[in-house]
Amino acid sequence: MQSADIFHRTRDTSVLLKSGLNLIQQALSIYSNDLKLVFTNQRFRAMFGLPQHLCEPGAEFPDTIRFLAETGEYGEIEDVEAFIDERVQQALTFEQHYVERKRSNGRWISVEGGPLRQGGWVAVYTDITDIKRQEEMMRTRSDELSGKLLDRSEELARANRALEATISRLHETQQHLEAAEARVRLAAETTPAHIARLDRSERYTYTNQRLPIVASNGADNIVGHSAYDILGPDIYREIAPALHSALAGHAKVVEFTAPSNGRHIRSAFTPDTSATNAVTGVYVLSMDVSATQTEDAADTLTTRVAQFGHWRILFDLFELRQINGADTQRLTVAEAQLLRLFLTMPNRLLTREDIFAAPGIDLDTPRALDIRISRLRQKLGDDAKSPKLIRTIYGSGYIFVGEVDWQS
């Protein structure tokens, strides 16, 4: 589907950007407006000695501050909790800022941060120890400046120019990143399907605002809410197995009918994995297939005729007639739909899962399928003990054997 291509393009763009940002000498981090890590380069982890879990998308900003505070990055702190709370409140303002500070290891860094148009902020950390040492030397050794002033000034000027050039490239990279993200978001928001992401706690972290059902809790923006609260208990019960399967690393597709408006929804759940193949969340693609189902149902009732063996089926009349006119059998809608499925894929194994997942096949239990197969065989005159038309492949499913001729 088109929306699947969007996800691939998003992933390709992300890989290219990540590769480029890992080459720069500055540490970089991007946090969302709910203070969760969106992206960081390798330099960020190396500069602060962070553990891997704090560099994975979704890592909490307060947890990173706590780690840095407890490892002495900010020096001696009397009240760690108060310090963390203060930093969190500052981060939530998303204001442009630039600071220089001395680290506990004696090195100096500059920290430049700015808000992103889509929410959240990007921060760049630059080691400026050499520049600070030059400034200190110029202050403490004024008596020796006469012979070295020109050389040091030129060296400092070169360092500043290099720093300015790097910052300029970072700004340009930030603009490209924002533009790429904006293009992806625009494509997602114009896709005729609901695209969303859930984290491991089953809370929405992204949505393109095209949810085909009304949120059960009345929320206008589902980000931050749990799937249970948004979908309600009835729909959540339908999608929970597929969601949990995706969180376990296995993609699943599920279909259900929304009780609020009667729409038939098809949802695909795809695991979102990190570089280490750990599942960090789930992508959800939901489409309203009510129109498709209506078209399928209408197509079932057209005047098309299928002929096989010595039988002809008229779908508009739900009649199964022998070609020689010796016998006519009436079919229920459910029986006609199941026979139509077999006739459209003759001489091919249909697993029980295939049959249950097929549009228009309304079956509650495996036993219901067995009963419907038995009734079809009876009407077709197909010996249940030695069937010739609908063969059972034990442990797998069924095969309809024969040549089918479709007529208008």
Would you write out the chain's pLDDT as a tens digit for each of its 408 residues? 344 444 444 545 555 566 667 777 788 888 888 889 988 888 888 899 999 999 998 999 999 999 999 988 888 888 989 999 988 888 888 777 778 888 888 888 888 888 876 678 888 888 888 887 877 776 666 555 555 665 666 677 666 756 765 666 666 666 666 665 655 555 555 456 778 899 999 999 988 777 766 566 666 678 889 999 988 888 899 899 999 999 999 988 888 887 766 677 888 899 998 878 899 999 988 887 765 544 444 444 444 788 888 899 988 788 899 988 888 888 888 888 889 889 988 888 888 888 888 877 877 788 888 889 999 999 999 887 888 899 988 888 899 998 888 876
Residue 248 contacts by C-beta under 8 Å, 6 or more apart in sequence? 279
Nearest alpha carbon to residue 312 among 324, 325, 301, 322? 322
Q: Are 264 and 293 in contact (CB under 8 A)?
A: yes
Residue 193 contacts by C-beta under 8 Å, 6 or more apart in sequence? 1, 3, 210, 285, 286, 287
Residues 218 and 227: their CA atoms lie apart, in Å, by 13
Residues 85 and 354: their CA atoms lie apart, in Å, by 54
Nearest alpha carbon to residue 27 among 128, 131, 158, 123? 123
**Phi, psi angle pair for 404, to nearest 5°:** -115, 130
Looking at residue 182, what DSSP letter applies?
H
Q: Which residue has the tokens 């808000």?
A: 115
- Helix ranges (DSSP H) in 49-144: 61-70, 80-92, 129-140
- 245: number of CA atoms within 13 Å, CB side? 14
**How remote is the C-alpha of 64 from its chain's centroid?**
25
Q: Are 97 and 113 in contact (CB under 8 A)?
A: yes
Q: Look up residue 367 and give its two tokens.
A: 């036993």
Look at the alpha carbons of 337, 338, 344, 350 in this order and tell me if their dihedral is positive or negative: positive
Q: In the sheet where 252-257 sits, what is the strand order?
A: 204-207, 194-199, 279-288, 264-273, 252-257
Residues 138 and 120: their CA atoms lie apart, in Å, by 39
Q: Look up residue 334 and give its two tokens.
A: 């459910």
Q: Look up residue 141 and give its two tokens.
A: 């050794």
Per this entry, what is the length of the chain? 408
